């Protein structure tokens, strides 16, 4: 099975420099163009069988661009939503730091400020990856449109890393990650490709 993990395009929160998380911002004009270019590139290089997407607007709008290009409906799931950052969602970084200082000593099963715990976040990644793998044929190509934080959880699940792993997997606006599952082998074919954006940069 081939799995393409795709981050959403630039959102309005990126321009405002606020904590996004569960704050439900839409794509910017640039973000919509990034999504359109991503969709064309994916169509030119893969035959997509299914599309899964977060229900948050920025991911859903990115997935819609792909859906329209390849002619496959979107299957929305809350399991692919970004980290539930509770009371800091939508706040400026300065205001959040003052009102809700980070507590690095928390055990992985605990949380503060109405957030989900690290353990709960990882569980969502484990659950949705297992579900997607189990309900698709071995020769299928599946696209997952999500968020930077959740993509990191999917990577940790894919690589069977510890819940509290401090290994980070960067992903750009509409960055594409390609994985292969075959005969119990898990292979990262490429990570955070933005080839589809080259013409925009030049």
Task: Provide DSSP, 110-151.
Answer: --STTPPPHHHHHHHHHHHHHHHHHTS-TT-EEEEEE-HHHH
Tally of domains within the chain: 1
CATH number of the domain where residue 143 is located: 3.40.50.1240
pLDDT value, residue 12: 96
pLDDT tens string 90-129:
999 999 999 999 988 999 999 999 999 999 999 999 999 9
Cite the active site residues: 8, 82
Nearest to 144, CA basis, from 170, 118, 125? 125
Low-confidence ranges of the chain (pLDDT < 70): 201-202
| Residue 58 among known ligand-binding residues | yes
pLDDT value, residue 200: 73
* Side-chain half-sphere CA neighbours of 104 within 13 A: 1
pTM listed for this prediction: 0.95
How far is residue 50's CA from residue 134's CA, in Å, rounded to a whole number? Answer: 13
**Residue 125: domain span:** 2-201
For the chain, give the mean pLDDT.
96
Cα-atom radius of gyration of the chain, to the nearest Å?
17
DSSP annotation of 25 reads P
């Amino acid at each position: 099975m081939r799995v393409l993990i795709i981050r959403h395009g630039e959102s309005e929160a990126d321009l405002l420099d606020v904590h996004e998380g569960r704050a439900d911002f839409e794509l910017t004009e640039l973000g919509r163009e990034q999504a359109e270019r991503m969709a064309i590139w994916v169509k030119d290089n893969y035959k997509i069988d299914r599309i899964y997407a977060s229900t948050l607007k920025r991911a859903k709008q990115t997935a819609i661009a792909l859906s329209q290009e390849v002619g496959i409906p979107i299957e929305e799931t809350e399991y692919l939503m970004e980290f539930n950052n509770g009371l800091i969602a939508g706040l400026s970084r300065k205001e959040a730091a003052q009102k809700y200082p980070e507590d690095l000593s928390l055990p992985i099963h605990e949380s503060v400020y109405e957030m989900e715990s690290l353990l709960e976040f990882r569980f969502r990644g484990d659950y949705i990856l297992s579900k997607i793998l189990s309900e698709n044929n071995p020769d299928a190509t599946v696209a997952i449109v999500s968020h930077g934080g959740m993509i990191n959880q999917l990577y940790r699940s894919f690589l069977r890393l510890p819940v509290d792993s401090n290994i980070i997997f960067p992903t750009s606006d509409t960055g594409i990650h390609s994985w292969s599952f075959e005969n119990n082998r898990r292979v990262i074919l490429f990570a955070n490709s933005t080839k589809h954006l080259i013409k925009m940069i030049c």
